[in-house]
Structure 1
Protein backbone atom coordinates (compact mmCIF):
# COMPACT_ATOMS: atom_id res chain seq x y z
CA UNK A 1 0.00 0.00 0.00
CA UNK A 2 1.04 3.57 -0.63
CA UNK A 3 0.30 6.65 1.48
CA UNK A 4 0.74 10.19 0.19
CA UNK A 5 1.36 12.70 3.01
CA UNK A 6 0.78 16.33 2.07
CA UNK A 7 1.24 19.40 4.26
CA UNK A 8 0.26 22.91 3.22
CA UNK A 9 0.65 25.01 6.37
CA UNK A 10 3.11 27.92 6.27
CA UNK A 11 3.66 27.80 10.07
CA UNK A 12 6.31 25.10 10.25
CA UNK A 13 6.75 23.38 13.60
CA UNK A 14 4.04 25.56 15.16
CA UNK A 15 1.39 24.25 12.79
CA UNK A 16 -1.61 22.40 14.22
CA UNK A 17 -2.47 20.77 10.89
CA UNK A 18 1.10 19.47 10.55
CA UNK A 19 0.93 18.02 14.06
CA UNK A 20 -2.34 16.27 13.21
CA UNK A 21 -1.26 15.02 9.78
CA UNK A 22 1.92 13.53 11.27
CA UNK A 23 -0.14 11.76 13.95
CA UNK A 24 -2.52 10.40 11.31
CA UNK A 25 0.38 9.07 9.23
CA UNK A 26 1.93 7.45 12.33
CA UNK A 27 -1.40 5.77 13.16
CA UNK A 28 -1.85 4.54 9.58
CA UNK A 29 1.73 3.22 9.53
CA UNK A 30 1.06 1.23 12.70
CA UNK A 31 -2.17 -0.09 11.23
CA UNK A 32 -0.65 -1.06 7.86
CA UNK A 33 2.84 -2.60 8.29
CA UNK A 34 5.01 -2.08 5.23
CA UNK A 35 3.10 1.03 4.17
CA UNK A 36 5.10 3.04 1.61
CA UNK A 37 5.02 6.77 2.38
CA UNK A 38 5.54 9.60 -0.11
CA UNK A 39 5.91 13.05 1.44
CA UNK A 40 5.14 16.39 -0.22
CA UNK A 41 5.52 19.67 1.67
CA UNK A 42 3.74 22.33 -0.36
CA UNK A 43 5.12 25.19 1.73
CA UNK A 44 8.75 24.08 1.42
CA UNK A 45 8.46 23.15 -2.26
CA UNK A 46 5.41 24.95 -3.67
CA UNK A 47 3.97 24.37 -7.09
CA UNK A 48 3.42 27.45 -9.22
CA UNK A 49 -0.14 28.61 -9.78
CA UNK A 50 -1.60 27.82 -13.17
CA UNK A 51 -1.15 30.32 -15.99
CA UNK A 52 -2.23 30.42 -19.58
CA UNK A 53 1.19 29.06 -20.51
CA UNK A 54 0.56 25.99 -18.33
CA UNK A 55 -2.75 25.35 -20.06
CA UNK A 56 -1.22 25.82 -23.50
CA UNK A 57 1.51 23.32 -22.67
CA UNK A 58 -1.15 20.90 -21.47
CA UNK A 59 -2.68 21.11 -24.94
CA UNK A 60 0.59 20.28 -26.66
CA UNK A 61 2.44 23.59 -26.95
CA UNK A 62 6.17 23.58 -26.20
CA UNK A 63 6.89 25.16 -22.77
CA UNK A 64 8.19 28.67 -23.33
CA UNK A 65 11.16 28.30 -20.96
CA UNK A 66 13.04 25.82 -18.79
CA UNK A 67 11.44 27.02 -15.56
CA UNK A 68 7.96 26.38 -16.92
CA UNK A 69 8.99 22.96 -18.21
CA UNK A 70 10.37 22.05 -14.78
CA UNK A 71 7.18 23.23 -13.04
CA UNK A 72 5.02 21.24 -15.46
CA UNK A 73 7.11 18.16 -14.69
CA UNK A 74 6.61 18.79 -10.95
CA UNK A 75 2.87 19.07 -11.51
CA UNK A 76 2.84 15.78 -13.41
CA UNK A 77 4.75 14.14 -10.55
CA UNK A 78 2.16 15.45 -8.08
CA UNK A 79 -0.64 13.96 -10.19
CA UNK A 80 1.15 10.62 -10.48
CA UNK A 81 1.68 10.52 -6.69
CA UNK A 82 -2.01 11.17 -6.08
CA UNK A 83 -3.16 8.53 -8.54
CA UNK A 84 -0.77 5.92 -7.13
CA UNK A 85 -1.77 6.44 -3.49
CA UNK A 86 -4.17 4.17 -1.63
CA UNK A 87 -4.35 6.62 1.29
CA UNK A 88 -3.90 10.39 1.06
CA UNK A 89 -3.36 12.43 4.23
CA UNK A 90 -3.62 16.19 3.79
CA UNK A 91 -2.81 18.87 6.35
CA UNK A 92 -5.27 21.61 5.44
CA UNK A 93 -5.43 24.67 7.70
CA UNK A 94 -8.12 27.31 7.22
CA UNK A 95 -6.71 30.63 6.04
CA UNK A 96 -9.20 33.49 5.68
CA UNK A 97 -12.11 31.04 5.58
CA UNK A 98 -10.61 28.84 2.85
CA UNK A 99 -7.62 26.61 2.13
CA UNK A 100 -4.03 27.78 1.71
CA UNK A 101 -2.95 29.03 -1.70
CA UNK A 102 -0.26 26.31 -1.70
CA UNK A 103 -2.89 23.58 -1.38
CA UNK A 104 -5.03 25.17 -4.10
CA UNK A 105 -2.04 25.11 -6.47
CA UNK A 106 -1.65 21.36 -5.79
CA UNK A 107 -5.36 20.74 -6.34
CA UNK A 108 -5.14 22.48 -9.71
CA UNK A 109 -2.51 19.88 -10.72
CA UNK A 110 -4.50 16.83 -9.63
CA UNK A 111 -7.99 17.88 -10.77
CA UNK A 112 -7.30 17.03 -14.40
CA UNK A 113 -9.94 16.09 -16.96
CA UNK A 114 -9.33 12.61 -18.31
CA UNK A 115 -7.15 11.60 -15.35
CA UNK A 116 -9.09 12.20 -12.12
CA UNK A 117 -12.49 13.06 -13.63
CA UNK A 118 -14.21 13.09 -17.00
CA UNK A 119 -17.27 14.61 -18.55
CA UNK A 120 -19.87 12.22 -19.95
CA UNK A 121 -23.26 12.61 -21.58
CA UNK A 122 -24.70 11.98 -18.10
CA UNK A 123 -22.54 14.63 -16.44
CA UNK A 124 -19.14 14.60 -14.72
CA UNK A 125 -17.72 11.32 -13.42
CA UNK A 126 -14.95 11.03 -10.82
CA UNK A 127 -12.10 8.66 -11.64
CA UNK A 128 -10.15 8.76 -8.35
CA UNK A 129 -12.54 6.90 -6.07
CA UNK A 130 -10.21 4.02 -5.25
CA UNK A 131 -8.54 5.72 -2.30
CA UNK A 132 -9.09 6.98 1.23
CA UNK A 133 -8.52 10.69 1.80
CA UNK A 134 -8.01 11.93 5.37
CA UNK A 135 -7.98 15.68 5.97
CA UNK A 136 -6.22 17.13 9.02
CA UNK A 137 -8.22 20.34 9.39
CA UNK A 138 -7.31 23.20 11.71
CA UNK A 139 -9.30 26.38 12.27
CA UNK A 140 -8.69 29.32 14.56
CA UNK A 141 -12.38 29.73 15.36
CA UNK A 142 -15.49 27.56 15.27
CA UNK A 143 -17.06 26.93 11.87
CA UNK A 144 -18.74 23.54 12.30
CA UNK A 145 -22.39 22.82 11.68
CA UNK A 146 -24.58 25.00 13.89
CA UNK A 147 -21.82 27.52 14.71
CA UNK A 148 -22.67 31.19 14.05
CA UNK A 149 -19.78 31.38 11.57
CA UNK A 150 -20.59 28.11 9.78
CA UNK A 151 -21.50 30.01 6.60
CA UNK A 152 -17.91 31.22 6.33
CA UNK A 153 -16.49 27.70 6.03
CA UNK A 154 -15.11 27.55 2.50
CA UNK A 155 -12.35 25.18 3.60
CA UNK A 156 -13.91 21.83 4.53
CA UNK A 157 -16.97 22.43 2.35
CA UNK A 158 -14.68 23.07 -0.65
CA UNK A 159 -12.60 19.97 0.04
CA UNK A 160 -15.73 17.81 0.40
CA UNK A 161 -17.04 19.08 -2.91
CA UNK A 162 -13.70 18.78 -4.69
CA UNK A 163 -12.87 15.23 -3.65
CA UNK A 164 -16.47 14.16 -4.18
CA UNK A 165 -16.20 15.51 -7.73
CA UNK A 166 -13.05 13.40 -8.19
CA UNK A 167 -15.00 10.31 -7.10
CA UNK A 168 -13.61 9.91 -3.58
CA UNK A 169 -16.29 8.43 -1.33
CA UNK A 170 -14.04 7.53 1.62
CA UNK A 171 -13.29 11.07 2.80
CA UNK A 172 -12.63 11.68 6.50
CA UNK A 173 -11.91 14.82 8.52
CA UNK A 174 -9.90 15.10 11.73
CA UNK A 175 -10.62 18.60 12.98
CA UNK A 176 -9.10 20.93 15.56
CA UNK A 177 -11.25 24.04 15.98
CA UNK A 178 -10.84 27.13 18.12
CA UNK A 179 -7.04 26.83 18.20
CA UNK A 180 -6.64 30.62 18.20
CA UNK A 181 -8.90 31.13 21.21
CA UNK A 182 -6.24 30.67 23.87
CA UNK A 183 -3.92 27.94 25.12
CA UNK A 184 -6.63 26.07 27.01
CA UNK A 185 -8.96 25.96 23.99
CA UNK A 186 -6.08 24.95 21.72
CA UNK A 187 -5.01 22.14 24.07
CA UNK A 188 -8.54 20.75 24.43
CA UNK A 189 -9.09 20.84 20.67
CA UNK A 190 -5.81 19.05 19.96
CA UNK A 191 -6.56 16.44 22.60
CA UNK A 192 -9.98 15.77 21.08
CA UNK A 193 -8.49 15.52 17.59
CA UNK A 194 -5.81 13.08 18.78
CA UNK A 195 -8.58 10.95 20.24
CA UNK A 196 -10.34 10.92 16.87
CA UNK A 197 -7.09 9.82 15.19
CA UNK A 198 -6.86 6.83 17.52
CA UNK A 199 -10.47 5.90 16.74
CA UNK A 200 -9.75 6.22 13.02
CA UNK A 201 -6.95 3.68 13.24
CA UNK A 202 -8.82 1.31 15.54
Structure 2
Protein backbone atom coordinates (compact mmCIF):
# COMPACT_ATOMS: atom_id res chain seq x y z
CA UNK A 1 0.00 0.00 0.00
CA UNK A 2 1.29 3.47 -0.83
CA UNK A 3 2.61 5.37 2.20
CA UNK A 4 -0.04 8.07 1.89
CA UNK A 5 -2.90 5.62 1.83
CA UNK A 6 -1.33 3.92 4.83
CA UNK A 7 -1.19 7.25 6.63
CA UNK A 8 -4.79 8.18 5.93
CA UNK A 9 -6.04 4.71 6.78
CA UNK A 10 -4.00 4.55 9.95
CA UNK A 11 -5.27 7.88 11.12
CA UNK A 12 -8.92 7.25 10.37
CA UNK A 13 -9.63 3.69 11.50
CA UNK A 14 -11.75 4.84 14.38
CA UNK A 15 -8.90 6.47 15.62
CA UNK A 16 -7.04 7.16 18.63
CA UNK A 17 -4.44 6.86 16.08
CA UNK A 18 -0.90 6.96 17.31
CA UNK A 19 2.33 6.13 15.54
CA UNK A 20 3.78 4.47 18.62
CA UNK A 21 4.97 1.53 16.56
CA UNK A 22 7.00 3.79 14.30
CA UNK A 23 8.51 6.46 16.46
CA UNK A 24 8.91 7.00 20.15
CA UNK A 25 6.50 9.61 21.45
CA UNK A 26 7.57 12.61 23.46
CA UNK A 27 4.77 13.51 25.86
CA UNK A 28 3.73 17.14 25.65
CA UNK A 29 3.65 19.04 28.89
CA UNK A 30 0.42 20.97 29.25
CA UNK A 31 0.81 24.72 29.15
CA UNK A 32 -2.11 25.33 31.49
CA UNK A 33 -3.58 23.61 34.49
CA UNK A 34 -5.14 20.28 33.71
CA UNK A 35 -7.11 17.81 35.73
CA UNK A 36 -7.28 14.07 35.54
CA UNK A 37 -10.47 13.27 33.69
CA UNK A 38 -13.25 11.91 35.85
CA UNK A 39 -15.39 9.49 33.88
CA UNK A 40 -18.52 10.57 35.70
CA UNK A 41 -21.13 7.91 35.48
CA UNK A 42 -19.05 6.35 32.74
CA UNK A 43 -19.07 2.72 33.63
CA UNK A 44 -18.70 0.26 30.79
CA UNK A 45 -22.45 -0.04 30.25
CA UNK A 46 -22.89 3.73 30.05
CA UNK A 47 -20.04 4.15 27.55
CA UNK A 48 -21.47 1.44 25.33
CA UNK A 49 -24.90 3.08 25.50
CA UNK A 50 -23.36 6.34 24.28
CA UNK A 51 -21.47 4.81 21.37
CA UNK A 52 -24.11 5.34 18.70
CA UNK A 53 -23.70 8.06 16.09
CA UNK A 54 -23.49 8.90 12.39
CA UNK A 55 -20.82 11.30 11.17
CA UNK A 56 -19.93 12.81 7.81
CA UNK A 57 -16.99 15.03 7.17
CA UNK A 58 -13.45 15.45 6.00
CA UNK A 59 -10.18 14.29 7.49
CA UNK A 60 -6.73 15.66 6.78
CA UNK A 61 -3.47 13.99 7.68
CA UNK A 62 -0.07 15.65 7.85
CA UNK A 63 3.14 13.88 8.82
CA UNK A 64 6.77 14.93 8.31
CA UNK A 65 6.75 12.74 5.16
CA UNK A 66 3.30 13.16 3.61
CA UNK A 67 -0.01 14.96 3.69
CA UNK A 68 -3.42 14.28 2.23
CA UNK A 69 -7.15 14.33 2.88
CA UNK A 70 -10.28 12.25 2.39
CA UNK A 71 -14.02 12.47 2.89
CA UNK A 72 -15.52 10.04 5.37
CA UNK A 73 -18.83 8.66 6.57
CA UNK A 74 -18.82 6.85 9.89
CA UNK A 75 -21.68 4.88 11.41
CA UNK A 76 -21.16 3.64 14.95
CA UNK A 77 -23.66 1.34 16.67
CA UNK A 78 -22.26 0.30 20.05
CA UNK A 79 -19.41 -2.09 19.17
CA UNK A 80 -20.22 -2.19 15.45
CA UNK A 81 -18.98 0.38 12.95
CA UNK A 82 -18.85 1.12 9.25
CA UNK A 83 -16.42 3.71 7.89
CA UNK A 84 -16.17 4.67 4.23
CA UNK A 85 -13.34 6.84 2.90
CA UNK A 86 -13.41 8.48 -0.52
CA UNK A 87 -11.30 10.97 -2.42
CA UNK A 88 -7.94 9.72 -1.20
CA UNK A 89 -5.94 11.10 -4.11
CA UNK A 90 -7.44 8.68 -6.61
CA UNK A 91 -7.02 5.61 -4.44
CA UNK A 92 -10.77 5.02 -4.56
CA UNK A 93 -13.23 3.97 -1.90
CA UNK A 94 -12.01 2.21 1.24
CA UNK A 95 -14.50 0.45 3.50
CA UNK A 96 -13.66 -0.42 7.09
CA UNK A 97 -16.21 -2.47 9.02
CA UNK A 98 -16.14 -3.89 12.50
CA UNK A 99 -18.05 -5.94 14.99
CA UNK A 100 -17.05 -7.71 18.16
CA UNK A 101 -14.17 -10.03 17.32
CA UNK A 102 -13.78 -9.06 13.67
CA UNK A 103 -12.67 -6.00 11.73
CA UNK A 104 -12.24 -5.82 7.95
CA UNK A 105 -10.78 -3.35 5.49
CA UNK A 106 -11.53 -3.59 1.78
CA UNK A 107 -10.30 -1.46 -1.10
CA UNK A 108 -9.21 -1.98 -4.68
CA UNK A 109 -5.60 -1.34 -3.65
CA UNK A 110 -5.38 -3.60 -0.61
CA UNK A 111 -8.05 -6.23 -1.19
CA UNK A 112 -9.69 -7.64 1.92
CA UNK A 113 -7.79 -7.52 5.21
CA UNK A 114 -9.32 -9.14 8.32
CA UNK A 115 -8.34 -8.94 11.97
CA UNK A 116 -9.85 -9.44 15.41
CA UNK A 117 -9.58 -5.79 16.49
CA UNK A 118 -9.03 -2.33 14.95
CA UNK A 119 -5.58 -2.23 16.56
CA UNK A 120 -4.57 -5.54 14.99
CA UNK A 121 -5.92 -4.44 11.61
CA UNK A 122 -3.95 -1.21 11.80
CA UNK A 123 -0.75 -3.06 12.64
CA UNK A 124 -1.31 -5.58 9.86
CA UNK A 125 -2.00 -2.95 7.22
CA UNK A 126 0.63 -0.41 8.25
CA UNK A 127 3.03 -1.94 10.76
CA UNK A 128 1.94 0.63 13.33
CA UNK A 129 0.72 -0.19 16.83
CA UNK A 130 -1.85 2.20 18.29
CA UNK A 131 -4.86 2.38 20.62
CA UNK A 132 -7.05 3.54 17.76
CA UNK A 133 -10.42 3.16 19.45
CA UNK A 134 -9.96 6.37 21.48
CA UNK A 135 -11.42 8.50 18.69
CA UNK A 136 -14.86 6.99 19.38
CA UNK A 137 -14.75 8.85 22.70
CA UNK A 138 -13.01 11.97 21.41
CA UNK A 139 -15.62 12.77 18.75
CA UNK A 140 -18.18 12.63 21.55
CA UNK A 141 -16.22 15.18 23.59
CA UNK A 142 -15.04 12.85 26.30
CA UNK A 143 -11.76 11.20 27.26
CA UNK A 144 -11.29 7.52 26.57
CA UNK A 145 -9.45 6.61 29.79
CA UNK A 146 -9.28 7.75 33.40
CA UNK A 147 -5.64 8.75 32.87
CA UNK A 148 -6.48 11.51 30.39
CA UNK A 149 -5.93 15.15 31.29
CA UNK A 150 -8.62 17.56 30.17
CA UNK A 151 -9.27 21.28 29.93
CA UNK A 152 -12.67 22.95 29.65
CA UNK A 153 -13.91 26.18 28.11
CA UNK A 154 -16.09 28.80 29.79
CA UNK A 155 -19.18 26.74 28.93
CA UNK A 156 -17.65 23.73 30.72
CA UNK A 157 -17.20 21.83 27.46
CA UNK A 158 -14.03 19.80 27.08
CA UNK A 159 -11.83 21.68 24.64
CA UNK A 160 -8.57 19.78 25.10
CA UNK A 161 -7.68 16.17 25.88
CA UNK A 162 -4.13 15.02 26.60
CA UNK A 163 -4.13 11.24 26.30
CA UNK A 164 -1.75 8.44 25.31
CA UNK A 165 0.73 10.75 23.61
CA UNK A 166 -1.87 12.77 21.68
CA UNK A 167 -3.01 16.33 22.35
CA UNK A 168 -6.55 16.76 21.03
CA UNK A 169 -8.06 20.23 20.53
CA UNK A 170 -11.85 20.33 20.22
CA UNK A 171 -13.76 23.25 18.65
CA UNK A 172 -17.49 23.92 18.90
CA UNK A 173 -20.02 26.05 17.06
CA UNK A 174 -22.20 28.40 19.07
CA UNK A 175 -23.76 26.56 21.99
CA UNK A 176 -23.37 23.05 20.63
CA UNK A 177 -22.14 20.42 23.07
CA UNK A 178 -20.42 18.16 20.53
CA UNK A 179 -17.31 19.27 18.62
CA UNK A 180 -17.37 20.44 15.03
CA UNK A 181 -13.63 20.13 14.60
CA UNK A 182 -10.89 18.07 16.19
CA UNK A 183 -7.15 18.58 15.76
CA UNK A 184 -5.01 15.67 16.97
CA UNK A 185 -1.31 16.35 17.46
CA UNK A 186 1.51 14.00 18.36
CA UNK A 187 4.95 15.43 19.07
CA UNK A 188 7.90 13.44 17.78
CA UNK A 189 11.41 13.29 19.14
CA UNK A 190 12.64 15.12 16.07
CA UNK A 191 10.67 18.19 17.15
CA UNK A 192 8.20 17.67 14.31
CA UNK A 193 4.68 16.36 14.69
CA UNK A 194 1.99 14.16 13.25
CA UNK A 195 -1.30 16.03 12.85
CA UNK A 196 -4.83 14.91 12.06
CA UNK A 197 -7.64 17.37 11.42
CA UNK A 198 -11.21 16.08 11.52
CA UNK A 199 -13.98 18.37 10.32
CA UNK A 200 -17.42 17.01 11.18
CA UNK A 201 -19.92 18.44 8.71
CA UNK A 202 -22.99 16.42 9.71
CA UNK A 203 -24.02 14.38 12.73
Bigger Cα Rg: 1
TM-score, structure 1 normalization: 0.31
Point out the structure with the larger helix share. 1
TM-score, structure 2 normalization: 0.31
